[in-house]
Chains A and B, each alone.
Chain A
Amino acid sequence: MYGGLHSPRPLPSDHALLELAREFTPRVEARGPTPVLLDLHGLGRVWPTAEDLGQALLRAASERRLTPHVALAWTRAAALMAARGRAGLTIIPAGQEAAALAPLPLLLLDLDPQRQELFHRWGLRTIGDLAGLPAAGLSSRLGPDGPRLRRLARGEDDVPLVPTPLPETFALTLDLDWPVDGLEPLSFLLTRVLEPLCHGLAARGRRAAALALDLRLVDGSLHSRTLKPAAPSVEPRTWRTLILLDLEVHPPSEAVQRITVRAEPTPARTVQFSLLDPAQPSPERLAETMARLHAWTTAGRGGAAALLDTHRPGAFAVGTFLPGPATGGAAAGGPWPARVALRAFRPPLPAHVVLRDGAPAFVSAPGVRGAVVERAGPWRASGDWWDVAWSREEWDVALGTGIYRIFRDRLREAWFVEGELD
C-alpha cells in the first residue's frame, strides 16, 4: 500500500511532511515540500487495517501541528492524486482507483499548458473524462503520451518510487552520566562517538574534511574546537588522535558533561593505485604526524620551505608541508655531485672586520674569530631599491676554523658573518 500526504496550507518548514512520513517508513519520495509519497508495505502487523494506518498518520500530523490531506491506495499515482484532490483521510480499495479518481479535476495530472488547453477544447474537465476515452484514439491523436495520460488518469503506475535520500548530517552527541575530567577518560568516550560517526560516513562513501567538537562543560559553558587536517579522513583513530592532540594544547577549563561531534562530509577520494608509481604516504598518517608536531607548525617553525622570487640573499618562506604526488623519480638516477652548502646564521652575526688593502684580513664575531688565510671577492649585489633596498659586498674567507661567507652592508656600512660554508 502507498500513502500520499499533501498540505494545501503553507508548511512550517520545507521538510515538515517529509519528516512526518519518515516516522512511518524510510521509503519516502518527496516531490518538493508537498506532496509526499510513502511506501507503506509491510506495516500490516502494526496497523492491521488501512483505516488504522490512516488515523495513525493523521494523529502524528496533528502532534506536529500539521493538517495534511492523507490518501491511502494500492497504486502510487492514485495515492498522490487523491491526497492532492481530497481533504481529510481517503482510502481507495484495490481495483477502485479509476472510480475514486474520476471526479477529481484534470489539473491534478500536472499537464503542460498546451495539453491542458487541448483537453479543455475537447471538453474534458475531470480525470474520469480522460480515463473514459479509448486508448487507441488517444494514441492516434497524441502519440505515446496519450495512453500514458490515460493510464495515469485510471490510477495506474507508470514510474517507480524514487526514495528521497536522508539528509547528510553527520553529528553525534553523547550525554555523560558523570562529568569527565582529563584527557585519558575522554579518549575512550571520543572513540564511542567517533566510531559510529566514521562508520556512517564510510557507509555513504564520504570522508570528514573537518570535525567540529563541542564539549558542554559542567559550568554550562561550551568548549568548541574545529579541526581541519590537510587530508579528509574517515579513520576514527586518526580523528581521536587529532582531537586529543588539539585538546592537549587547548584543554577544557572544567569537566565535560556532554560531547557533540559534527563532521563536514566530503566525497571519498578515489585513487587508482599504479603498479609502477612509488608508494605515496598516507594522507591520514601525514595529517596525524603534522598534528603531533603542532608545537612546531603552529609557531611557523615547521613546514616546507619555498624560495621567493627575488635576488635578495636568503629570501624564503615556510609554508604548510603538503607534498604533492611523486613524479616517478626519473631525474634521480646517476651520480650526483656533492655541493657546498651554507650554514646560515639567523640573523647574520654582526662582525668587526679589519681590512688590509681593501680586503678582509681579520674577522671577529660571536663564535667566529680569526685571521683571514685566503679570500675570494668582493662580489657586489643590490636590489629592491623601490622597496626595502639592500646592497652588499660579499666575501668568502678562509679562517683557521673554517670557511665563512661574510658581507658588508653597504647601506649601513656594517660587516656581518652570513654563515659557514660546509
Chain B
Amino acid sequence: MGSPLKIALQDLLRARRLQAEAPPLRGEDRRLSPLATGIPAIDVLLGGGFPRGQVSEACGPASSGRTGLALGLLARTTRRGALAAWVDPEDRLDPTSAAATGVDLTRLLWLRGQPRTSRGLPEAVAAVGTLLGSGLFEAVVLDLAGVPVPEIRRLPGATWIRLQRMVEETPTVFVLLADAHTARGPGGVSLRLEPAGPRWSGPPGPGRLLRGLGAQALAGGHPVRRTDLELQAFS
C-alpha cells in the first residue's frame, strides 16, 4: 500500500466516510442518519437534522422563517447532488429566493398548484405520495402554509398515516410547512417557529434595509428545547 495512488485513494475514501454530509455512495444505507439543514442552531436542536423516513413538520405563523428554513434544507440537499421536491398547492415559492438561498434549481422539482381550486390540496397530497413512492428524492417539502385549516381538515383522516407508511421505507426526509401543528410521524420532529420580529439596518428613514428576521425555534415535548434563529435578508 505504499504507492502514492493507493494512498490518495485511501485518503479520498476516508474523507468520504468522515464527511457525513456527502451524498450516499452506491448501496450505502443512510436511513438512520438525519439530514442536516446546515443551520447549526437548528441541527443542534433537532439532534443532527430532520430524520429520514419520517413525516416531520416546521410550523409557525407568517414571517416566522418556515420557508427560509426549508429552503436552507433544500439548498444543502441539492448542492450535494441529491434531488429535492417542493409541492406547492398555493403556488407561493419564489424561485429567486430559492436560488439566493443556494438551491440548485435544476435539481429541485417544483409542483405548482392552482390556488382557489377545490381539488388543489388532494392533488398535492397525491403528488407527494408519488414522489415518496419513487424513492428518488432525498427531501420532499409540502408547503401548506397559508392553506386554510378547514381545507386541511377536509383531507381524509388516513392521509398522514398513509404518507408516513410510504416514506418510512425510504431515506427521504418529508417536511410539512404549515401555519400550525398538522401531522408528525412517530419518529419525526415537530419544529415550531415563533417570530421574534424583523431586524433593520438602522433607524427609520430613507436607505434603511431589512437586515433579517428573528425567530425562536422550539422542538420536543418534555422538556421543550428552544433556540434562537436569525434569517438574513438578501438586500
Chain A contact residues, CB within 8 Å of chain B: 273, 275-276, 278-279, 281-282, 285-286, 288-289, 292-293, 295-296, 301-307, 313-314, 316, 318, 321-324, 326-329, 331-346, 374-379, 396, 398, 401-403, 419-422
Contacts and interface: CB of A to CB of B under 8 A. Distances in A.
Nearest to A342: B94
Interface residues of B, number: 85
B26 interface: yes
Q: Is the interface of A mostly helix, strand, loop or mixed?
A: mixed
Interface string B24-46: 11110000000001111010000
Given A281-B83, A338-B231, A376-B200, A323 B130 contact: no
Given A293-B111, A335-B40, A421 B22 contact: no
Contacts of B209: 376
Interface centre among B40, B69, B92, B98 (most CB of A within 10 A): B92
Nearest to B193: A422
A419 B94 contact: yes
Contacts of B81: 278, 326-329
B204 A375 contact: yes
B127 A293 contact: yes
B117 to A, nearest CB: 11
Interface in B66-120: 66-69, 71-72, 75-76, 79-83, 91-102, 105-115
Given A336-B102, A339-B97, A421-B63, 12 more contacts: A275-B13, A276-B25, A278-B23, A288-B134, A302-B110, A307-B99, A314-B96, A326-B23, A326-B81, A338-B231, A343-B94, A422-B63
Given A285-B136, A338-B69, A339-B100, A403 B210 contact: yes
Contacts of B68: 338-341, 422
Contact of A337 (B197, B206, B232): B232
Given A328-B81, A422-B66, A403 B198 contact: yes
Given A316-B95, A327-B81, A376-B210, A402 B39 contact: no
Interface string B219-235: 00000000001111111
A225 to B, nearest CB: 21
Given A278-B23, A278-B24, A341-B98, A396 B109 contact: no
4 nearest CB pairs, A to B: A326-B81, A278-B23, A402-B62, A336-B38
B114 A301 contact: yes
B17 to A, nearest CB: 11
Contacts of A376: 200-201, 208-210
Contacts of B95: 305-307, 316
A331 B96 CA distance: 20
B96 A339 contact: no
Nearest to B114: A301
B71 A343 contact: no
Contacts of B98: 305, 341
A155 B114 CA distance: 79
B136 A422 contact: no
B213 interface: yes
Interface centre among A289, A292, A420, A421 (most CB of B within 10 A): A421
Contacts, number: 220
Contact of A336 (B72, B113, B127, B230): B72
A334 B131 CA distance: 28
10 contacts: A276-B13, A302-B112, A307-B96, A336-B39, A337-B232, A341-B68, A341-B97, A376-B209, A401-B62, A422-B145
Contacts of A339: 68, 71-72, 97, 100-102, 231-234
A289 B131 contact: yes
Contacts of A296: 111-112, 123, 127
Contacts of A314: 94, 96
B47 interface: no
Interface centre among A288, A329, A340, A401 (most CB of B within 10 A): A340
A337 B231 CA distance: 7
B19 interface: yes
